[in-house]
């Protein structure tokens, strides 16, 4: 058993070292690292800043979207669970969602124009 493990370990080391040797780049060229626009020089910066407010709204949307997907199994387990426990867990979960929404609202993260 240890022989097989050592053979696998040696093969893994050989593959990792070969991948490291093959993937090395010989030089960094300014033209190759610049953004590509059909062979022309870029007219403006390729790294344009975007609104941090848009980023915060997107993150809040993702968080609440994931939390909503956590509610779906509650609906599926309605038939096989105790009603008192089910409503207690569902109410607590929705209360946490509403508390998070209220907190974001009071912090001003949902106000688009200031």
Q: What is the pLDDT of residues 22-74, one digit of tens each?
A: 876 656 666 666 666 566 665 666 666 777 778 888 888 888 888 878 878 87
Q: Residue 21: is its pLDDT beyond 80? A: yes
Sign of the CA dihedral running 44, 45, 49, 54: positive
Q: Residue 86: is its pLDDT beyond 70? A: yes
CB 98 within 8 A of CB 91: no
Q: Which residues contact 10 (CB under 8 A, 6 or more apart)?
A: none
DSSP letter for 111, please: -
Give CA–CA dist 44/107, Å, rounded: 35
């Amino acid at each position: 058993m240890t022989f097989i493990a050592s053979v696998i370990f040696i093969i893994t080391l050989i593959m990792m070292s070969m991948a490291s040797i093959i993937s090395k780049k010989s030089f960094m060229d300014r033209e190759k690292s610049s953004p590509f626009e059909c062979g022309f020089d870029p007219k403006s910066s390729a790294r344009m800043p975007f609104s941090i407010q848009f980023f915060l709204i997107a993150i809040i949307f993702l968080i609440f979207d994931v939390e909503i997907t956590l509610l779906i199994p509650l609906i599926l387990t309605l038939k096989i669970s105790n009603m008192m426990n089910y409503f207690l867990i569902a109410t607590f979960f929705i209360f946490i969602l509403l508390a998070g929404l209220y907190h974001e609202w009071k912090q001003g993260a949902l106000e688009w124009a200031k």
